Amino acid sequence: GQQVMQIPQYQHVQEGEDFTTYCNSSTTLSNIQWYKQRPGGHPVFLIQLVKSGEVKKQKRLTFQFGEAKKNSSLHITATQTTDVGTYFCATDSWGKLQFGAGTQVVVTP
């Protein structure tokens, strides 16, 4: 099946700074989804990208899908303490989600 590699595994960010997490695949993806999981919680859907080169924004979050549909990124600007959690990318194949390893984000005030 399709595998998505996600980096970095950990991200320590000072409040107010920006950071980016990346997902890469060796094969072309039909879609990429992003989730946020707070400590102790369940994954919460953020967005789905399906088009080559697609860029979507949600307030301080910017999601991109690469032109070749083999990579994706999530960029967060002006990080806040509420951004703490683990961010996962995932690809959906007929409902089955294959998750990346996740980027655990720690925010220091």
Partner 1 sequence: GAVVSQHPSWVICKSGTSVKIECRSLDFQATTMFWYRQFPKQSLMLMATSNEGSKATYEQGVEKDKFLINHASLTLSTLTVTSAHPEDSSFYICSLYLQGSLQTQYFGPGTRLLVL
In the list 71, 72, 102, 107, the residue contacting partner 1 (rule: CB under 8 A) is: 102
Residue 96 binds to partner 1 (criterion: CB under 8 A):
yes
Among 19, 34, 36, 43, binds partner 1 (CB under 8 A): 43
83: helix, strand or coil:
helix
The whole-angstrom separation of Cα 47 and Cα 89 is 10
By the rule CB under 8 A, 106 interacts with partner 1: no
Is residue 55 a contact residue for partner 1 (CB under 8 A)? no
As given in the structure block, the two tokens for residue 4 are 């998505």
User: CA-to-CA distance for 27 and 16, rounded, in angstroms?
Assistant: 35
Q: Which residues bind partner 1 (CB under 8 A)?
A: 33, 41-45, 48, 88, 92, 95-102
